[in-house]
Amino acid sequence: MKLGLATIACGLVLLLALFGVATTTAEAASKAPRLTGIRCVPVTAKACRKGVRVAVGKQLQLQGRGLKRGMRVSFRWSRGALATKLVRSRGGWTVRVPAGTALGTVGVTVRDGRGRRSNKRNVRVIALAPLPSLNAARPGELPAVFAGNGMWIWYVNRSEGGNLDAIAARARAAGVGTVFVKSADGGDVWSQFTTQLVAELHARGLRVCAWQFVYGAAPEAEATAAAASVAAGADCFVIDAETKYEGRYAAARRYLAALRGAIGPNYPLGFTSFPYVDYHPRLPYSVFLGPGGAQANLPQVYWKAIGSSVDAVSAKTVAQNRVYATPIAPLGQSYDAPKAADLRRFRALWAGYGAAGLSWWSWQATGGAAWSVLSEPAPAPVVPSDPGWPTLDQGATGDQVIWLQQHLASADPSVAVDAKFTAATKKALQAFQSARGLPATGETDAATWQALLTVPVRVVDWTAVK
């Protein structure tokens, strides 16, 4: 068979195109970062005499080609993955194993700004010596109203059509004892939260808590709206502070002072926000969860929305929030059709962490399949490995640094509470560690955090914190 010139030309064009694609693919692969080795820091560490063995929070040195400052470094295991950033130090390219990384074999990869991923190198993540008081939630300290199972209601009229009998029936079937009903947005009181609503839900066997989304622009007005919800008979009250509240430390203190002045020091107060404190370093967790603040921490553990696994998001949440020493009762994701296996895993895992209570967002967005899973008997607890504690060292910034400085300032009033881990902060931390018989590393670890949490917090003038 003879081929025409047009056919031959088309064939040549196709071959060139395919060759170009192959070449482009090969070039992209050759330009992707490549890991040639991983070493412990220091290299002489005893744990690394038989391969790379490292604890959560400790450093690793990465060797390879195409590495750049700030690259995303992923630590991946069978049930999840966590990521952090590559750092350039005197010892070369270094990275810390993120708090929340599971024990065992973990694959390490690097990704550049164009999304090209390196080859994988395995390390062995090991546990440090056991320490006391590692439970995240301290179940005996959680106010009773936050214990058990809860469900959040944004709009009552979109939850079972506003039929209170139907709400109570579904709650009983799912073992839900508490409903969290929105009562205010900023300084605006919502008409759906009334004394009558509370009384009728009480009559149907439900505890009723109010919640308010706050902004921080008018803290006294927001506190007045919150107090109105408590006056309506709410069994507890939850503050929902998110992006709008970042950097508003003085406003948070004014809000809490006004609210506590109205409801008293012992009224059960909760706080809910983003689960990853290090992703929102300017949000005043240390005020809302500090002296005079909430007695329950309800982080929003929305694993599917975050884009990771139940195990990874839960572990990082525990590690990031445990430093505030407020009992944790996580808020899980029942919206956006999560997998049944994930819902079961969430319940089992947090039972293993010791959480005495958990709740779900939200009633109106929870489908029938999710309700069916929540109605199942509680699964057996899965006891996870300890997720570690945040490692802070010189150069760190953010709310966890503020929390550290507040504790240090109780022992040494000269310590500045300014969210910046300076050389002066390091010196004060080393002095604290030495006084407690701990290695004076100048960085936080599990033993250091647990020692710090026995020290009272020094309340400061928040107007100085930007």
List the CATH number of the domain containing 422: 1.10.101
Eight-state DSSP code of residue 142: S
> Is there a single domain that holds both residue 269 and residue 326?
yes
> Is there a single domain that holds both residue 265 and residue 312?
yes
**CB burial of residue 435 (10 Å; 0-12, 13-18, 19+):** exposed
**What is the structure's pLDDT at 127?**
87
**What is the structure's pLDDT at 310?**
98
**CA–CA separation, 274 vs 299, rounded Å?**
6
Residue range(s) defining the domain that contains residue 414 = 399-464
**What is the structure's pLDDT at 4?**
45
Domain-embedded: residue 380: no
> Is there a single domain that holds both residue 308 and residue 436?
no
**What is the structure's pLDDT at 464?**
67
> Is there a single domain that holds both residue 66 and residue 200?
no
Domain-embedded: residue 195: yes
Domain-embedded: residue 2: no
**What is the structure's pLDDT at 411?**
85
Q: Which residues of 31-57 are buried (b: 16+ CB within 10 A; e: fewer)?
A: ebbebeebbbbeeebeebeeebbbbbb
Q: Please state the separation of Cα 372 from the chain's center in Å.
A: 27
**What is the structure's pLDDT at 196?**
98
> Is there a single domain that holds both residue 121 and residue 154?
no
> Is there a single domain that holds both residue 214 and residue 242?
yes
**CA–CA separation, 132 vs 446, rounded Å?**
10
Intervals of the chain under pLDDT 70:
1-30, 47, 129-140, 464-466
| pLDDT over 90, % of the chain | 84
pLDDT tens, position by position, 104-156: 999 999 999 999 999 999 999 998 755 444 444 444 589 999 999 999 999 99
> Is there a single domain that holds both residue 325 and residue 245?
yes
**What is the structure's pLDDT at 30?**
61
Number of domains in the chain: 3
